[in-house]
Every structure is written in C-alpha cells, then in structure tokens.
Amino acid sequence: MRKYHKAPPVDEENSYWMSFSDVMSALLVIFILAAVALMVQLLETEAELKEKVDKLDQEIQQLKIAEKVRKTILEEAAEELTKLGIQVVVSENDSVLRIPNDLLGFSTAAYEIQPQFHETAYAIGKVLHKVISREDRIDYLDTIFIEGHTDNRSFNGVLGKGNWGLSTFRAITLWQFWTNSLPARLSLQEMLNKDDQRLFSVSGYAETRPVTKQQITLEELSANRRIDIRITIRRPKSQEIERAQLNIIEK
C-alpha cells in the first residue's frame, strides 16, 4: 500500500505579504524610473535654457560692440578732420557726424557745392573711408546715411518739391561729388555691409529736424542748412529678442 503524505499547510499570511512585497517592489522600480526620466528632462530643459540665455547674451554683447565701433568711427573721424582744420560735431548719442553749412557752403535755396569748398568735401570723404575701413568695423555697420537738411524758410524750387527736394539734392550732390572725385582705392560707393548691400545711402529731411530752437538770425538759419552723416549699426531682429525673452520666462 502506498503511504499517503499529507500536504504541508499553506501559510496564507506569508503568501499575502510576498504578493504585497512584489507589488511594492514594482512600484519602487516605477518610481525610480519616473524620477530618472524627470531628472533627465530637467537637465535637458536646463541645457536648453542655458543655450537661450547664452544666445541672448551674445546678441547683447554684439550690439554693445557695434555701438562702440560706431562711436569710435565718429570720434576718430572728428579727430582726423580737426587735425586738418575741419571742425565737425559728433552728436545725437554718438550716432551722427554733423557737417556744418560753412564747410560745404550751401547758400539759401541752393544745393550745389561751390568750388572753394571742394577740397574740404574731398577731405571729409577721404577720412570717412579711412576710419570705416580699419579692422573689421564695417561688419558691425548696417547703413550710413548722408542726410540733407534745410532751414525753415519755404522754398518751391527743385522740381516743385520744396525743402524736401532741396535737402535731398544737397545729400545727393555731396554723394555724387565723392563718387566722382575720390579715387578707386578710397571709393565709398564700393563699400558693402555684411549682407553684401551698399553701405551708403542718401536721404532728405527738409526742415523737420532743426538743430536750433528758433531760426531768426542768419547764424541760426545757416546752422540748419547742413549735412549729417548718420551711422546705423547691425542689430538682432526685435522679434528674435522678444522670442528668446519669452522662452526664458516660460522656462
């Protein structure tokens, strides 16, 4: 006869705790994986944020360098011209080289540069080319405007365009003089910015930007018949800066 062996009793309580332990182990593994995933995500976010901050900082630094380059160009131009006995003024937050009327001799309602002022006009163009061409300065510039200005007296000449036409023709006249008189090695016309666009441009403002509060005396009127050389620098697009700032805030 076969002996019957009674099965050992099942420890139900121990079986319960074993199942509970398995569940807790699984949950712990899940928690660790979630924590690792979160840590990785935080590290990636931190890296992205640092990259955006660094890019924004680089844009700001480039802008500061460009502003310094512009200031240096204008200061050196004024210094070089002063040595030649030509007194110009750096104004408007170090962005404009002001050429007074007595250096170019624009008579009332006239836009031609008289022969006795050709030598001065030539020297100004030569010095501009010299100070702009140094090092890599041109890479920081966007446009250089030759701006014509008039006094506030009404004028109906120049094809009936009034002071607007007169101021613009004064700028054009100076530009054409430089184009025709400066040698090829000093050509302003061939200067290109970093986007391969012509660096120089002309504009006219009529009497809209006076330098004197009143225009009564001959001196006050003459002060507004002038040419301004305005330098604009390369800047990051405002949309790019705003987008970068928003991304940093959101993060």
What pLDDT is stored for residue 50 in this prediction? 67
Per-residue confidence (pLDDT) for residue 133, from 0 to 100: 95
Tell me the percentage of the chain whose pLDDT exceeds 90: 55
Yes or no: say if 227 and 99 are a contact pair by the CB < 8 Å rule.
yes
Contact 167, 148 (CB under 8 A): yes
Residue 21 within any structural domain of the chain: no
| Digit-coded pLDDT (tens) for 118-167 | 999 999 999 999 999 999 999 999 999 999 999 998 877 666 789 999 99
**Model confidence, pTM:** 0.73
Name the residue with higher pLDDT: 107 or 197: 197
The pLDDT assigned to 90 comes to 94
* Domain-located, residue 13: no
What per-residue confidence (pLDDT) applies to 169?
94
Q: Note down the domain range covering 70.
A: 60-238
Total structural domains within the chain? 1
3-state secondary structure 83-125: HCCCCCEEECCCCEEEECHHHHCCCCCCCCCCHHHHHHHHHHH
* Buried-state track 69-85, b at ≥16 Cβ within 10 A, e below 16: bbbebbebbbebbeeee
Reported as a single tens digit per residue, the pLDDT across 65-91 is: 999 999 999 999 999 999 999 999 998
In a domain, 189, yes or no: yes
For the chain, percent of residues with pLDDT exceeding 70: 80
Q: Is 158 among the domain residues?
A: yes
**Cβ contact 98:161 at 8 Å:** no
- Phi, psi dihedral angles at 142 (to 5 degrees): -105, -60
Q: For residue 123, tell me if it sits in a domain.
A: yes
Q: CATH code at 200?
A: 3.30.1330.60
